[in-house]
Amino acid sequence: MSHFLFIDESGHDRGHGAYEVLCGLAIEDSRLWDWVQDLHALEEKYFGMRYRGNEREIKGKKFLKRKVTRLAGQLPTMAPHIMKEGAHKCLTQPCQSTQKELVALAQAKLLFTREMLELCLDYNCQAFASVINPNSTTPTDRDFLRKDYAYLFERFFYYLEDIDENGIVVFDELEKTKSHLLLSQMSNYFIKTRKGQERSSRIIPEPFFVHSDLTCGIQAVDIIAYLVSWCWKETGQTSLRPDLDSLATLAFKLRYMRETDPVWSFTYIDDLMPSR
């Protein structure tokens, strides 16, 4: 058995979140297709159609932005069939949408997100995240893998080691030059460093790159990354998006803790500069 690790990020433009987050979502290969089909069914349930298309994409910053949560709260939660009809009308005839239909679409987005997270829990998906200090200096050395990637691979390796299985990494497609750079950095890490060599025994160092708008795993991890970005809080703090706290609680339930150490699959990083 193998596990796919879908990876995406949020807040890296330093404008869409309180923290920069590199996030991964792992699912067993034998359960992937059933999970994907259930996610497709959720889209039909809430939108009366597959959501993607015509430049639409399931993304955290589109499903969970403040405007969506404000709109959703303007009316009591609608009956499922009314919500579905209103959301479908908004998606197929956006220029003719009424205010009630806009509210229906907003409520559908939030309920879809909630059920998507619950589905991840049902399928025993595991989430991994490197939460980065937004004031951290971005490394300029292009030869070394960034610390957030190294920590994410470390946590994924611990999980694979605990369950005695292997892992395959799947990235949201980047600009080609950035993809080549990441491939080079991963090669250096997994081949030329002691820790990387150890972790290559479980993680295949050659990743796949996919289009996010065509891949459910990337869409799901994008939403989780967005929730972590806005709702991560240090001791004594409150999240910057209390309106998302109930959804973030579900996302944080996807964390994995290695019992022998113990080490959580979510980690906070003060400084991104890699160690040589």
- Return the C-alpha torsion angle 79, 60, 65, 113, nearest 10: 20
Q: Check residue 46 and give left, alpha or beta (phi > 0: left; psi -120 to 50: alpha).
A: alpha
- H/E element, 6: strand 2-10
Contacting residues for 218 by C-beta, under 8 A, at least 6 apart: 6, 8, 170, 172, 210, 212
For position 83, what pLDDT does the model report?
Answer: 98
Q: What is the DSSP secondary structure assignment for residue 212, as one 8-state letter?
A: G
| 29, containing H or E segment | helix 29-47
| pLDDT for position 144 | 84
Do residues 237 and 131 make contact, with C-beta atoms less than 8 angstroms apart? no
Q: What is the pLDDT of residue 65?
A: 95
CA pseudo-torsion sign 109, 114, 119, 121: positive
CA-based end-to-end distance of the chain: 34
Distance of CA 217 to the CA centre of its chain: 8
Residue 195: name the closest of 267, 230, 144 by CA. 144
| Whole-angstrom distance, CA of residue 269 vs CA of residue 132 | 5
What gap in Å lies between CA 198 and CA 240, rounded to an integer? Answer: 38
Domains and CATH numbers, the chain: 2-31+113-269 (3.30.420)
pLDDT in the model for residue 16: 54
Give pLDDT tens digits for 238-267.
Answer: 788 999 999 999 999 999 999 888 899 999
What is the C-alpha separation between 1 and 163, in angstroms, rounded? 10
pLDDT in tens, 110-121: 999 999 999 999
- Which residue is it, tokens 């803790």? 257
> For the chain, which ranges sit under pLDDT 50?
none
Angle at 122 between CA 28 and CA 149, to 5 degrees: 50
pTM across the whole model:
0.94
The per-residue pLDDT for 103 is 98
